[in-house]
Structures are given as structure tokens and as C-alpha cells.
Amino acid sequence: MTASMFGCSQCGATVKAKGLCAKHYRKAWHEANRAEQVAKMAAYYAGNKDKWAYAPAATEVERKKRNRKTRLWRAANLQLAREHQRRYRFLNPGLIAAAAARDRLENPAKFKARAQDYYSRNLEAERLRSRHKAARRRGAEGTYTKRDVDLLYHQQSGRCGFCLVDLFQKFHIDHVIPLALGGTNWPGNLQLLCPRCNLKKGAKPPSMFRKPQPAP
């Protein structure tokens, strides 16, 4: 005698058909007819877009109810939710870009506050990014990091590379050979100057802006 004569071959429950209970029979049927079912569902949704289109919540209570339901489902199905999100972004880049542009137009204050908050928390990184962007516009090769700047500050003993005044972490990152004259953006072409000396130097080459010589 086989197990199916006594119960479902998968779980031992009452047999419905082909040696399986109702639950496992439905699962096996759907797996065997998956392509056909997907095609039917796609055709149905395509013909009833208005019925299944997203509709905003009519009331604030309904909106909160929907959000809570979504949060609970996402918490219980985090990996699946991330896969759905990645797939949606991959298949709908135009819709996402349009929604983001519309949101920026409708909520400029929100985006301005978000940008200011990010900039205040990443001040040094944003300054470096801005300087790298300016160097690329001039066609200069090379790049540097905050670690390179910190090392240079230590090598200069925290003093201006020209007038030797203490910088107290308030300095300008200067290119020894200016980018405008073909200088690179590598760390070896950098020096730290106080704001006064950097503004005075401008785009002058090293031969026109020499360090002051000590008195004899």
C-alpha cells in the first residue's frame, strides 16, 4: 500500500486527488500551469487598468491605515519587498524620474531642507566633490581624499605653506602649479594656505609667489 491510500503523500491530510490534499494539489497544479496563469493574469490586468489603478486615500484616516498595513507587510517580508522595489525601479525608470521631478516642484521646501541637512552633515565631502568637479572641468588629472588633506596638514605642522601662520583648521587647499596653468589635482601638487595668502596667490605660478625668506 502507498502512503496516498491513507493520506496526502506530502502531509498526511485527507486526499483530494492524485494522492494529494487540497492544499498540495492546488500548489502542484499552479506550478504545472504557471506560464498559462501568468499570461491570463497579464491579459486581465491589461484589460482592466482603470479598476486596478492606484487611487489616493480619500481621508487621512484611510491614508494612515494604508501606511500602517504597508509597514507591517514590509517588516514581515523585507527581502521580498526589496526585490519588488528593485524590479519596479528597473522596469519603470521614466515613471520614477517623472514622480521625483513632480515632487520637487510641489515640495521645494522639503528638498531644500533635506539638501541643507545633508550638506551640513557631509561638509568636507561636499567641498572635496565640488573641487574635484572644478578640476575635471579644467581637464586636470588626479584626485585626492580627506586623508590626503589631513596628512598634508600634519606635514605642514598646521601652518600656512606661505606665511607660516597657524591655520587652526581654517585653510584653503591650493594647487602649487595652478590648474589654469596645467597643474594636476594629485596630492603632490597641493599645499594648505591661509585664506589671505591663497586669495593673494590666485593663479600665479610658484616663480611669482615665493615663500618669504628669513631675515639674515
Strand partners, 193: 172
Residue 5 has pLDDT above 60, yes or no: no
- Segments forming the whole domain that contains residue 165: 124-208
Cα gap 145→126, rounded to integer Å: 11
Which of 88, 121, 154 terminates a domain? The answer is 121
- Helix, strand or coil for residue 172? strand
Residues 133, 203 within the same domain? yes
**56 falls within a domain:** no
- Residue 10 — very low, low, confident or very high, per pLDDT cuts 50/70/90? confident
Residue 61: inside a domain, yes or no?
Answer: no
The C-alpha atoms of residue 11 and residue 4 are separated, in whole angstroms, by 10
SS3 of residue 191 by DSSP: strand
In terms of domains, do 202 and 132 share one?
yes
**Residue 4 banded pLDDT, cuts 50, 70, 90:** very low
Query: Average pLDDT of 209-216?
Result: 55
Looking at the domain assignment, is residue 215 inside a domain? Answer: no
Domain identity same for 179 and 134: yes
Closest CA to 180 of 137, 144, 120: 137
What digits encode the pLDDT tens for the residues 122-143? 888 888 888 888 888 888 899 9
Task: Dump the DSSP string for 114-131.
Answer: HHHHHHHHTHHHHHHHHH
Which grid coordinates are listed for 136?
575635471
- 196 with 161, same domain: the answer is yes
Is residue 1 predicted with pLDDT exceeding 80? no
Please write the tens of the pLDDT for every residue from 71-86: 999 999 999 999 999 9
Q: Residues 117, 128: one domain?
A: no
Q: 199 and 143, same structural domain?
A: yes
Q: Does 130 share its domain with 190?
A: yes
**Phi, psi for 20 (deg, rounded to 5):** -125, 150
- The contacts of residue 166 (CB under 8 Å, 6+ apart) are 158, 159, 160
Residues 20, 88, single domain; the answer is: no
- Are the beta carbons of 148 and 124 closer than 8 angstroms? no
Q: How would residue 6 be classed by pLDDT, with cut points 50, 70 and 90?
A: low
- pLDDT-based confidence at residue 106 (cuts at 50, 70, 90): very high
143 and 172 inside one domain: yes
Q: Which of 121, 136, 154 is the last residue of a domain?
A: 121
Please count the structural domains in the chain.
Answer: 3
Spatial separation of the C-alpha atoms in residues 210 and 208, rounded to whole Å: 6
> In CATH, what number is assigned to the domain containing residue 131?
3.30.40.220
In this structure, the answer to whether residues 199 and 132 fall within a common structural domain is yes
Quick one: CA torsion of 41, 42, 46, 50, rounded to 10 degrees? Answer: 50
Question: Looking at the domain assignment, is residue 204 inside a domain?
Answer: yes
Query: What is the pTM assigned to this prediction?
Result: 0.49
Q: What are phi and psi of 55, to 5 degrees?
A: -120, 125
Task: Kindly report the number of other CB atoms within 10 A of residue 8's CB atom.
Answer: 19
Q: Is 62 a member of any domain?
A: no
Question: Do the domain assignments include residue 159?
Answer: yes
pLDDT of residue 17 exceeding 70: yes
In a domain, 63, yes or no: no
**Residue 216 belongs to a domain:** no
Same domain for 85 and 37: no
Neighbours of 189 (CB within 10 A): 17
**Cα distance between residue 13 and residue 20, in whole Å:** 8
Does one domain contain both 130 and 117? no
